A and B are shown apart, each in its own frame.
Chain A
Amino acid sequence: MKISKKYSIKKIVARLALLVIPAMAIGAYLLWHLNAYYSVLESQWITESLFLATGLFAGCLFYSFRFRFITTFLPLLLLLFIVNKIVNNLYTGEFTAFYATTKFYIFAFLFVTGWLAGWAFARLRWFPAVLSALLMLLQIIVVSNTTDITAQKLILAFAPVLVFAFYIIYTAELVLNMNDDEPKFTWFLTKKIIAFAAIAGIILLLILSFYKKEFQAIEKQYGGGKSEQQVPNKESLTKENKDGSVSNKKEMGLSGGRSSTKRLVFIAKLDNYFPNSDMPNPLYYTYDYYTKFDTSTQTLEVDSLMPSNDLFQPDPSKIPVYFTKTDSSVLVKAKGFLKRKVVSTEVYKALLSPKEFLAPETAFFCQPIAVEKDYRQQFKSAYRAKMLVSELNSAYFVYNPAGNKELEAFQKQRFDELRKVSTWNNEDAAFMSYYTFIPKGDDFDSIRVLANEITKNALAPIDKIIAVRNYFLSRDETGQPLFKYTENPGVPGLPSASKLNYFLFENRKGYCAYYAGATLFLLRALGLPTRVATGFLTMDRSTKNKGWYWFYEDQAHAWTQVFFPGYGWIDFDTTIPSTEQQQAPAPDGTPPITVQTALFVTHGKVTEVDTSKKRVDMSVSQMIYHDKTFDLKKPVLLDMDVSLATISKDSGEVSLGELKKGNEITALSFSEQFKDIAMKDSNNYEEIFQKIPKPAPIDEIKIIDTTQEKQQVKKEIKKNTLPFSQILRFGIIILVLVILLIFSLPWIIFKWLSYKARSAAALSQKAYWSYMAATYYCNQLGRSRGDMSPALFARGKIDTEFKTNLFAFMQVYLKTKYAKESLTNSEQAIIQNFYTPFYKAVKEKVPFKERFSKFLNFYRTINFFSKPKI
């Protein structure tokens, strides 16, 4: 039985060498990447790559012969099925059988995938195009999820795949269309590949150098960028915005270290005290909750769709000073009503972005307040917040009450209170399943086993939590601490190992995010609804100003919260004390204790600005007078004296000149003049406006900058979306125009020839153009001269069909062309009177439909001009 080849040996070898082997390499690279993310692959990327490569190679080689696909692929599947049965019977132990079967499935899947890809390489012409698009897509998704953003890394991760995507398209076509009889086959291929490398390389270099700035901008904005130069750690829980302010990050990677700079972020006054005592009880300042674990990127994520979302996140920069924003619905969603009390805090922002809002949980009220003049250099803005906090929470380092009896007693009391909770049976099932979710897989199974092992002696849920805490604090057999705190645990050496498992079972070194993440899974494994909270660790460093706390950058923190029915979310911090921890560089400063109260606050739009007289008119839409808020039904015009006022924006103080008509502003007055104005009817705002001095003395104006933001948003939208769609649209329009031009070109050419024939002045010119126009018209209408002589064509074909006098004209034309004699009068008349009647005669005989369709044929035109004319 002789099986003929579908391609020549040369082509088969070329395809294997130039397409399949690089595809194997890319496959191995992808598997290596995937092993780092998916624990089910069990970090056997080399073996897996071998299976994939074998399938790929065998498939491509096999289908380079004339084998049918279906009848050969089905037996292969059957064979795998039989092997599967054998594997199942071979291993008897439940675990080993499961392990072996899973392994077999993975290998069989990889082999079959390779086989199919090999088949596609050998048989499907469109496969390289699809593969290249898929590869690029995959790589873009993987690379865009990276947390370690540097321009160089982005380029290095993407450029090779981009080039490879075009390489396979190039090579696939090259091999397919190559002539088998090429004598110096290898040299031919080498030449072509070198040519590709040169062209693609040059183009890539040009484009990358063009885009270098964009990559650097991304690095600056999202990556380590500037802070990388200051600190060795690239990873941090905070990020620096473009304007230099600090925000919390939206992602919490489990790699690298965290920021340890000592810059002041904000200060806060919290009026929370231990019951029946004047001892302040600091609380963690919460920024966000991390509830969802993305297995593909191995990061915990913020999920805006989390059940019972109790996060109150207003933008203080958008609320006019002294006006309030309240959301009481979060209190219902927080589900905590036992041992709760309302406390308030005042936050003065130093580096913290004006947009950010931080408060102990559960906040429900926000009111921006004015910063006193003397402190404006240090603190750009401030707000007051109210929270329903749990009396069981405290930010004192839970492991180290430091012999403080009060704290020890407090802690015991807290645990006793929570020990009352033993079941979550009455909780909503969706809520429970969401907050107790753990991904499947061996890595997480081992966490489950560990959790059960740690808590085997604990009965009550709270005791289980304590057991987990104690596990992190425990010591090994040599008496050394089992876990260590480090700011920089580094990326695991084995790329395939799950980072959490690596932390829990091997490295045992990490910072807060590691402990919080690990605790989350340990507790969830025990069925306790848990989430990770991020924000700032509160440290009470001085007793000078009670209730005032200073927050530095290195206090950014992550901890776990466990939900107790009735009590709500309770903080648990399992991060072990750091031996490397340092104190704040400078002792805490003086807080702006003297808080002013604005007596008169108005919010509205500027209607007129007079910089010389220092007078501003505004149309007031909202007003606060003596702590009472009025929503004005009709805007009221207010004349203000701003000679003493400071004008400010979020970014700091500005001059009066910056204030423009139409600006949205809040005007404050601390003036005594407002103190004594009494009102009859406390609800009548019109009365107040009548009584207040004109112009009203104003101490502070805050511009709420909405226009600039809008512009920026617009700019960004423009920057992000316009070029691509615009270029696409532009490209399509050009394409359509080009197509139109191509189809209308025969007609345009005819019109031009026709014009020349009619307008030529010199007789010989007129004869030439008439001849051109007439023969072109005939040619375009399907009456081409072909191999006929001009005379025969004119007399035998055209004149007989259309009853024209082309032959007579042709004779005269040939005479003008070749003879030296001058034309007679009658001959001149023939030339003068030829073209228009000829054109009309032909036009009448050929129906419009036929003329139209034939004039669309561009090849007829090419044919006319590529033939000898006479």
Chain B
Amino acid sequence: MNIAVIRQKIRHLGFFIPFRIHLLLIAVALVLAFGWLRQNNAIPETSRTAIINVFISVTFWFALTILVVSLLSALVPWIFFLYSKKNNRSVLSIKTPDKENKTNQQQVQVDISKIVKPVFGYIRLRLLYDGNNVSPKFTPVDSQPKKDFFSMHIKGLYNWPLKNIKEYDINSGIIYFEDFFQFFSFSAALPANSNFFTHPQLTQTGAIIVQPKKTEDTNMRIEEMRKVEGEFLNYKNFENNDDVRRIVWKIYAKNKELVVRIPETNDRYASHIYFYASFYNAISNDVYAEFNEAFLDNFKTIVWNVYEQLCRQNELVQYIPDQETKTFYADDAIQKAKYIVSTSTWQKQNDLTGYFNKQYGSVLCISSLTDVKQLEAVLEKSERGLTVIFVPLSKSFTNVNVIDWLQWLFIKPEKKSSEKLHLAFNLSPLRRKILANEKIIKEMLNKSDCEVLIMDNGLFDKV
């Protein structure tokens, strides 16, 4: 067992300590203070000693009573929870909330059943995800007002500041029962086995004009009901080969007439925008895992923003994934695409030539990791009307200049800020490779006939 593992184990054990560190601190501070007081004022028969003694015992009993009340207020719900957990009545479920939140934050929805909140106290949680990772301790915010006071159900939201855009597996949760003073923290682990994904954040992008290239038949539902009996506009009588699902039962209910809708086909020329985003990685490898993650998040954010922008402008945008992801059950194509973009990773199997369909593709998103030769092959024969969106990954990190260094001197950067990564990236050999690749790609794109958008204006530089 190496030190890291031991440290992690100790840290995990620490999650189960039944009291919080400040209780210990207060106890030590009070004992020291009063010990000193007693030692330095032990002259008997003086008012001073008598007063000090009474004050000390009043403080002692006051503190003790508060401790006991705190302890009981947390202990009772905890024991109740352990009991209901033993009988499998307590369930913890975690999911991405249904409603899109306005604040653009990464939210998870937590549901715990058969649980009683300590009086004036708190229920806190830690989520164990992706193996050994642990979330910070958090209090879920009540997402719906409590219907009755004695409800044994907790439903709340948590804005989880997760770093990467991907799908997370949550193995279990540790539930903490804390008293109103937050002195005690009784814990109980509960398996969760659920997953949720973080999605790219929306940023403002300018309008992107793209030519649809793919023609597709689209069946449109006829919304207008038949007005008069015998009218056959948009309807016809049911025949043997007709799809039974198309029978309009409403009409049948009225007059026992089996009628089907004649589908309205929408077959405009070049109606569809096929959206391609290549996650093919020809340059970086696993040694640069940390950079790759940052690149990936940056690329996903841009891809998603462009896609979303196009969807808002045009109804008929279709995202063509370059890799297989888990099936995501949603009616909405945009939600599906969101999931696919969010869970995509850099891949080395499906290269650009194999993936991109020149005939139909309207938009192609590529990154600095794209293979130059393949790009050349794609651009060679492509027609006008293809929009290539190039994401220079070397711009994934915020630039650090002299003012920033000065700032660093006075201001502590945030823990997971990209500044540290940026410094490492500046020194890594990968940077040279990527810059060289970007240069070639840019030259190539400039020469080509395609519409080219290079996303290095800093709009998306937030990782």
Say if A and B assemble together.
yes
A binding-site residues for B, Cβ under 8 Å: 1, 3-4, 65-68, 71-72, 125-126, 128-130, 132-134, 136-137, 140-141, 143-146, 149, 154, 158, 162, 166, 169-170, 173-174, 177-183, 192, 195-196, 199-200, 203-204, 206-208, 210-211, 214-215, 218, 221-223, 250, 716-717, 720, 723-724, 727, 859, 862-863, 865-866, 868
* Residue of B16, B25, B57, B413 touching A129 (CB-CB under 8 A): B25
State A865–B85 Cα separation when bound (angstroms): 9
Minimal Cβ-Cβ distance residue in A for B105: A181
CB-CB contacts below 8 Å: B153-209 with A: 157-159, 180-182, 188-189
Is the pair B62, A133 in contact by a Cβ cutoff of 8 Å? no
Indicate whether A181 sits within 8 Å of B60 (C-beta atoms), given known contacts A133-B33, A206-B65: no
Which residues on the A side are within 8 Å of B33 (C-beta)?
133-134, 136-137
Q: For chain B, which range describes its interface: under 10, 10 to 19, 20 to 34, or 35 or more residues? A: 35 or more
* Residue of A141, A158, A196, A723 touching B180 (CB-CB under 8 A): A196
Is the pair B22, A177 in contact by a Cβ cutoff of 8 Å? no
**Nearest chain A CB to B357's CB is how many angstroms away?**
43
* Residue of A67, A183, A207 touching B412 (CB-CB under 8 A): A67
Which residues on the B side are within 8 Å of A192 (C-beta)?
120, 180
Is the pair B47, A222 in contact by a Cβ cutoff of 8 Å? yes
Is the pair B29, A133 in contact by a Cβ cutoff of 8 Å? yes
Is the pair A214, B54 in contact by a Cβ cutoff of 8 Å? yes
State A206–B65 Cα separation when bound (angstroms): 10
Which residues on the A side are within 8 Å of B409 (C-beta)?
68, 71
Minimal Cβ-Cβ distance residue in A for B409: A71
Is the pair B47, A218 in contact by a Cβ cutoff of 8 Å? yes
| Interface-lining segment among B36-44, B252-260, B382-390, B429-437 | B36-44
Is the pair B55, A195 in contact by a Cβ cutoff of 8 Å? no
Interface membership of B61, Cβ < 8 A: yes
Interface membership of B141, Cβ < 8 A: yes
Minimal Cβ-Cβ distance residue in B for A725: B38
Which residues on the A side are within 8 Å of B414 (C-beta)?
4, 66
Indicate whether A177 sits within 8 Å of B182 (C-beta atoms), given known contacts A125-B22, A724-B60, A866-B86: yes
* Residue of A68, A141, A149, A179 touching B411 (CB-CB under 8 A): A68
Minimal Cβ-Cβ distance residue in A for B140: A179
| Top-6 shortest CB links A-B | A222-B47, A133-B29, A144-B51, A129-B25, A133-B33, A195-B120
* Residue of B29, B60, B407 touching A130 (CB-CB under 8 A): B29
Is the pair A177, B180 in contact by a Cβ cutoff of 8 Å? no
Q: A143-B55, A180-B159, A192-B180 are in contact. List 7 more A-B contacts (CB 8 A).
A: A3-B411, A67-B411, A133-B32, A162-B62, A215-B54, A218-B54, A724-B60
Is the pair B410, A169 in contact by a Cβ cutoff of 8 Å? no
Is the pair B413, A66 in contact by a Cβ cutoff of 8 Å? yes
Interface membership of B423, Cβ < 8 A: no
B binding-site residues for A, Cβ under 8 Å: 16, 20, 22, 25-26, 29-30, 32-34, 36-38, 41, 44, 46-63, 65-66, 69, 82, 85-86, 88, 120, 122, 124, 137-141, 157-159, 180-182, 188-189, 403, 407, 409-414
Is the pair A140, B141 in contact by a Cβ cutoff of 8 Å? no
Which residues on the A side are within 8 Å of B140 (C-beta)?
179
State A134–B37 Cα separation when bound (angstroms): 11
* Residue of B36, B55, B159 touching A181 (CB-CB under 8 A): B159
State A141–B50 Cα separation when bound (angstroms): 12
Indicate whether A203 sits within 8 Å of B62 (C-beta atoms), given known contacts A130-B29, A136-B33: yes
Is the pair B50, A218 in contact by a Cβ cutoff of 8 Å? yes
State A18–B66 Cα separation when bound (angstroms): 20
Which residues on the B side are within 8 Å of A211 (C-beta)?
54, 57-58, 61
**Nearest chain B CB to A868's CB is how many angstroms away?**
6
Which residues on the B side are within 8 Å of A200 (C-beta)?
66
Is the pair B412, A68 in contact by a Cβ cutoff of 8 Å? yes
Is the pair B16, A866 in contact by a Cβ cutoff of 8 Å? no
* Residue of B25, B86, B181, B188 touching A170 (CB-CB under 8 A): B181
* Residue of A1, A125, A158, A179 touching B55 (CB-CB under 8 A): A158
Which residues on the A side are within 8 Å of B188 (C-beta)?
862, 866
Which residues on the B side are within 8 Å of A144 (C-beta)?
41, 47-49, 51-52, 55
Is the pair A154, B51 in contact by a Cβ cutoff of 8 Å? yes
Which residues on the B side are within 8 Å of A178 (C-beta)?
139
Is the pair B47, A223 in contact by a Cβ cutoff of 8 Å? yes
State A135–B9 Cα separation when bound (angstroms): 39
Which residues on the B side are within 8 Å of A866 (C-beta)?
82, 85-86, 188
Is the pair B36, A137 in contact by a Cβ cutoff of 8 Å? yes
* Residue of B38, B59, B410 touching A136 (CB-CB under 8 A): B59
* Residue of B32, B58, B138, B410 touching A68 (CB-CB under 8 A): B410
